[in-house]
Amino acid sequence: MNARCRQLVVALGFAAWPALASAQITPAAGYTPPDDTPSIKVGATIFTDYTYTDAPTATDADGNIIHSNAFNVARSYINVTGNISHVVAFRITPDVTRETGTGSALNGSLTFRLKYAFVQVNLDDWFKYSTGNWVRVGQQQTPYIDFMEGIYRYRFQGTTFVEREGFQSSADSGVSFHTNLPSNYGDIHVGIYNGENYNKPEANNIKAVQIRGTIRPFATGDPVLRGLRLTGFYDKDAYVKNGERNRFIGSVTFEHKYVNAGFDYFNAEDQPLVNAATATAKVDASGQSFWITPKTTIGIEGLFRFDNTKLNDNIDQRRKRTIAGVAYWFPHQGSVSTAALLDFEQVKVSGSTPPAIPPTQQRIAVHMLVNF
């Protein structure tokens, strides 16, 4: 090939290069690039109620026997969520709640505190078998309570069983990992947390390890049985070295168009101090809870729940809670939820003494929920 021909070939090569380069980066047919546009959203959650206390009675400042009753704002959240990209997301949720600490200048006031503040790294780009895979760092939901509140929708009436009895919290500071099993057969959520809950600072050098595993055995089978889920949860923690603070929970839940239901069993081990000079006795507690919420297609639902707790297996006393009510869930679109609930709640302790048995509590309330 002479010099003139070689120059012509090189020129044609450079002329064709832009087209070849463009062909190399053209996405395959049907491919949609992920949306990496930063975004931010603001929402709110409000729990409000009017509660009439039938028992026990109280005495006012002038010595009159009264039935306490009050309008309350039990909880108010401002939810700020957003995405830095399709991989990195965040949530900040301040919490407005009633201050009840004795001796505090703010006792009785509605105070502003932080409930959630975390960064989430979405892992779906690397997990091809399912979606909903992520790592969270910061103050965040704990594995069990957040899961259960997605099925038991009456958090605005009162907390779930183990949280109401003081054995679990809905949030704590730490790092956690979540993955969904293939074909919607369940999920796993595991985390390392301070263990002191979101409303207290870390008190020692020990971290809580919490893990929840849920199986949906009929995920691809009968349409009715798809709503059945089996869940196990374990929280390994300690107050001090060798001072156990462990929790186990087993749950069976069922979800259907016309009914949601669940059964929970828990066992707790607590020993705050183990030093020979200050040792406290180890306390084992256990309990069961059953709830059911029959539903209609016009927004009317029923609520029945029964909790049975033995706070100390060495003492013959049980705390029994009965909740019954009827709710109306207003029509909504998207993630908006609005509901009103008329309910009756009784808390009764039975068994031998000592310790002294507290009086039976009975309340009638109208609860409201707004969430968007």
The string of DSSP codes covering 18-52 is: HHHHHHHHPPPTT--------EEEEEEEEEEEEEE
Mapping DSSP to helix (H, G, I), strand (E, B) and coil, where does residue 214 land?
Answer: strand
Higher-confidence residue of 333 and 242: namely 242
Distance CA 172, CA 194 (A): 7
Instruction: Give yes or no for residue 31 having a pLDDT over 70.
Output: no
Asked if residue 16 is part of any domain, the answer here is no
In this predicted structure, the answer to whether residue 188 has a pLDDT above a threshold of 50 is yes
Average pLDDT over residues 81-86: 95
Helices (H), 36-177: 143-149, 161-164
Residue 365 lies in a domain: yes
Q: How many domains is the chain partitioned into structurally?
A: 1
CATH number at residue 203: 2.40.160.10
**Which domain, by its residues, includes 243?**
50-371
Domain assignment present for 362: yes
The 3-state DSSP class for residue 110 equals strand
Mean pLDDT for the stretch of residues 93-116: 78
Residue 316 covered by a domain? yes
Which is nearest to 250 in space by CA: 266, 239, 262?
Answer: 266
> Rounded to a whole number, what is the largest CA-CA distance in the chain?
117
SS3 of residue 231 by DSSP: strand
Compute the C-alpha angle 260/264/268, nearest 5°.
155
Q: What is the pLDDT of residues 311-355, one digit of tens each?
A: 999 999 999 999 999 999 999 878 889 999 999 999 999 999 889
How many angstroms separate the CA atoms of 241 and 205, rounded?
A: 9
At residue 161, the 3 state secondary structure works out as helix
Inside any domain, residue 195: yes
> Within a domain: residue 98?
yes
Q: Is 264 exposed, middle or buried (0-12, 13-18, 19+ CB in 10 A)?
A: buried
For 199: left if phi > 0, alpha if psi spans -120 to 50, otherwise beta; the answer is: alpha
Q: Percent of the chain scored above 90 by pLDDT?
A: 77
Nearest 10 degrees: Cα torsion 270, 116, 231, 239: -10
Q: Is this structure's pTM higher than 0.85?
A: yes
> Would 61 be classed as within a structural domain?
yes
Q: Can you list the pairs that 218-227 forms with residues at least 24 positions away whose Cβ atoms lie under 8 Å? A: 219/183, 219/184, 219/185, 219/186, 220/183, 220/184, 220/185, 224/256, 227/254, 227/255, 227/256
What are the residues whose beta carbons fall under 8 Å from the beta carbon of 113, sequence distance 6 or more? 94, 95, 96, 97, 199
How many CA atoms does the CB half-sphere of 183 hold within 13 Å? 8
Residue 20 lies in a domain: no
